[in-house]
Amino acid sequence: MFTKIELKKGVNLYIRPTEQFKTISMSFRWTAKLSAKQAASRTVLSNVLQDSNEDYPKQSDLRKALDELYGSVFYMDSGKRGNSHIVSLNMECVNDEYLQTSGVFDEVLNMVSTVIFRPNLKDGKFDETIVNREKRSVMERIRSVYDDKGRYAQKRMLELMRPDHPASISSNGTEEDVQNITADSLVETYEKMLTEDAIDIYIVGDIKQDTIVEKIRTMFDFKEREISYERYENAPIEMKETRQVFEKQDMKQGKLQVGYNTPITFFHKDFPKMQVMNGILGGFAHSKLFMNVREKESMAYTINSVYSANYGILYVLAGIDAQLEEKAVTMIQEQLDAIKTGEVTDLEVDQTVALLANSIRSAFDSARGQIELFDQYKQLDENFNADKLIAEWHEVSLDDIKRMASTIQMELIYLLSGREA
């Protein structure tokens, strides 16, 4: 679905000309090995690069320029996948065709180039005031997870299951790591990112392939680089017994997280089978968890299961009355046992495959969805498209589903609840 052009060794351009959208979307992605320290530094760097540059040393001027370009959207972000940390620069502008003006796209490209190659440096250093301000912003972002009880419960579950492990390292790093960043160390991070990271550039929209390739080649003269790509492999987990951890805060509802491990990861050949198993268990409104724990027992409003394939983790999350924790865990385990013993109807399988197909096709109806999905699945297949994956889901048999369910082991029961419960 994307055409790949290798600009330089380690620097790839992926383009998709389409008339589907009224805008042109771009995403530049820098990928390096994940560590908490690097994550912190790269996140602060992306904030600093987003703030200002040589052409626009003041944030308000940069924002004014973007407004003049018909509200072009520009933001930088940081995330993780497996043992990789990814910094992304995202830009979206209206296709000139819909405006009473022209040249918007070219100006936007210019601006992207400035953000990347001409940051706001003084004497070879980032501005201390800006660095300190953005350090503070990132620290506040890290801390704010506490205020969102659902996210906090999930973070705790991952920390308890996989301490000091890519699965639990935040893509923002830790507060302490952020605190240690200096204006000097940030320049090192910047230079390393520009010269050593794997770079993927995505462009989706009504564009002409030849012209765009030429423009990108000249405007973004990245150096070639050696990428020693290490595919992330999950170390086998030695399971002794299921742990229970209950924590308290001032809140009304109980947030239950049940964590399981599985040897089936994203790169395993059985990955699509596990996706179907997870859909039957708790991916949708027809799934076993929703139908039994919510609809039959009226115990929860939210209950679903998530398959975190990168780390071989599957977890169930539910908002419940904390006093019903034991009953809820028993019921969750019953649903999983039912799948293990093959108590799954053809209807459940068909519904799940149909909805998985619908969700992936629907995701392709946005430029961002196209970029995100392709970027992930190209690790398996550079010629990835939705139909191939959908065909694999259709092949999944009841035996496969039973087998997938039996690879799963309950590792942790975590409950975050109110103090008086």
Partner 1 sequence: MEKITFDNLQETLFHERLDNGLEVYILPKRGFSKTYVTFTTKYGSIDNTFIPRGKDEFVTVPDGIAHFLEHKMFDKEDGDVFQKFGVLGASANAFTSFTRTSYLFSTTQNLYESTKVLLDFVQEPYFTKEKTDKEKGIIAQEITMYDDNPDWRNYFGTIQSLYEAFPINIDIAGTVDTIQEITAEHLYECYETFYHPSNMSVFVIGAVDVDEMMDFIRKDQLGKSFSEPEEIVRKYPEEPIQAGQKKVVLEMDVLRPKFNYGLKCNNVSIEGEEMLRQDLAVNLLLDILFGRTSEFYTTAYAEHLIDETYNYDFTFEKGFGFAMIGSDTEKPDELEATIKKTINAQKTEWTITKEDLDRSCKRRIGQFMRSLNSIEFISNQFTQYNFNGMNLFDVVPALEKMTLNDLKEAFQTVNNEESHSVMTIIPPVKEG
Q: How many residues of this chain interact with partner 1, rule: CB under 8 A? A: 71
Least spacing, CB of residue 11 vs partner 1, in Å: 28
Determine the longest span between alpha carbons in the chain, in angstroms. 68
* Residue pair 354/414 in contact by the 8 Å Cβ criterion: no
Nearer to partner 1, 320 or 336 (CB): 320
Q: How far is the CB of 336 from partner 1 (least distance, A)?
A: 20
Residue for token digits 């320029």?
Answer: 65
Q: Is 250 in the site for partner 1 (CB under 8 A)?
A: yes
DSSP, collapsed to helix, strand or coil, labels residue 310 as helix
| Amino acid occupying residue 396 | V
- Site for partner 1 contains 227 (CB under 8 A): no
| 73 backbone dihedrals φ, ψ, rounded to 5° | -90, 130
Among residues 174, 308, 351, 376, which is the contact residue for partner 1, using CB under 8 A?
Answer: 351
Asked if 398 is part of the footprint of partner 1 (rule: CB under 8 A), the reply reads no
Position among 70, 232, 267, 271 found at the interface with partner 1 (CB under 8 A): 70
| Length of the chain (residues) | 421
Site string for partner 1, 281-320 (x = CB under 8 A): ---xxx---xx--xx-xxxxxx----------------xx
Nearest to 90 by CA among 132, 41, 49: 49
**Binding to partner 1, residues 160-179 (CB under 8 A):** none
C-alpha to C-alpha distance for 195 and 199, rounded to whole angstroms: 9
d(CA 217, CA 210): 11
Helix, strand and coil content of the chain, in percent to the nearest 5, comes to 45, 25, 30
Site for partner 1 contains 147 (CB under 8 A): yes
136 binds partner 1 (CB under 8 A): yes
**5-13, 87-95, 154-162, 220-228 -> range binding partner 1 (CB under 8 A):** 87-95
- Rule CB under 8 A: say whether 367 interacts with partner 1: yes
Q: Please, which residue, 127 or 196, has the CB nearer to partner 1?
A: 127
388 in contact with partner 1 (CB under 8 A):
no
**DSSP β-ladder status, 303-308 and 11-17:** unpaired
* Distance separating alpha carbons of residues 329 and 220, to the nearest angstrom: 54
Site for partner 1 in 3-22 (CB under 8 A): 18-22
**Toward partner 1, which CB reaches closer, 97 or 123?**
97
Binding to partner 1, residues 20-59 (CB under 8 A): 20-23, 58-59
Which residues contact residue 295 at a Cβ distance below 8 angstroms, ignoring those fewer than 6 apart? Answer: none
Q: Which of 27, 72, 84, 257 binds partner 1 (CB under 8 A)?
A: 72
Separation CA 115–CA 88 (nearest Å): 12
| Shortest spacing between CB 155 and partner 1, in angstroms | 14
> Minimum distance from CB of 331 to partner 1 (Å)?
14
| Alpha helices (runs of H) in 71-182, residue ranges in sequence order | 104-117, 128-143, 149-161, 175-179
DSSP codes, 233-302: -PPPP---S-EEEEEEES-SSEEEEEEEE-S--TTSTTHHHHHHHHIIIIISTTSHHIIIIIIIT---S-
Bridge partners (DSSP) listed for residue 261: 313, 409
Among 27-35, 207-215, 334-342, 365-373, the segment contacting partner 1 (CB under 8 A): 365-373
Among 5, 7, 73, 121, binds partner 1 (CB under 8 A): 73
**Only segment of 70-78, 216-224, 259-267, 396-404 that touches partner 1 (CB under 8 A):** 70-78
Distance CA 361, CA 363 (A): 5
Nearer to partner 1, 7 or 251 (CB): 251
| Closer residue to partner 1 in complex, CB, 55/270 | 55
The neighbouring-strand residues paired with 202 are 14, 27
Residues of span 251-270 touching partner 1 by CB under 8 A: 251-253
Among the listed ranges 37-45, 188-196, 363-371, 401-409, the one in contact with partner 1 (CB under 8 A) is: 363-371
Residues 183-222 that bind partner 1 (CB under 8 A): none
Q: How far apart are CA 300 and CA 293, in angstroms?
A: 7
Q: Which is nearer to partner 1, 82 or 254 (CB)?
A: 254
**Applying CB under 8 A, does 68 fall inside the site for partner 1?**
yes
Type and span of the H or E element at 379: none
343 contacts partner 1 (rule: CB under 8 A)? no
Residue 191 Cβ vs partner 1, minimum distance, rounded to whole Å: 26
Regarding 96 and contact with partner 1 (CB under 8 A), the answer is no
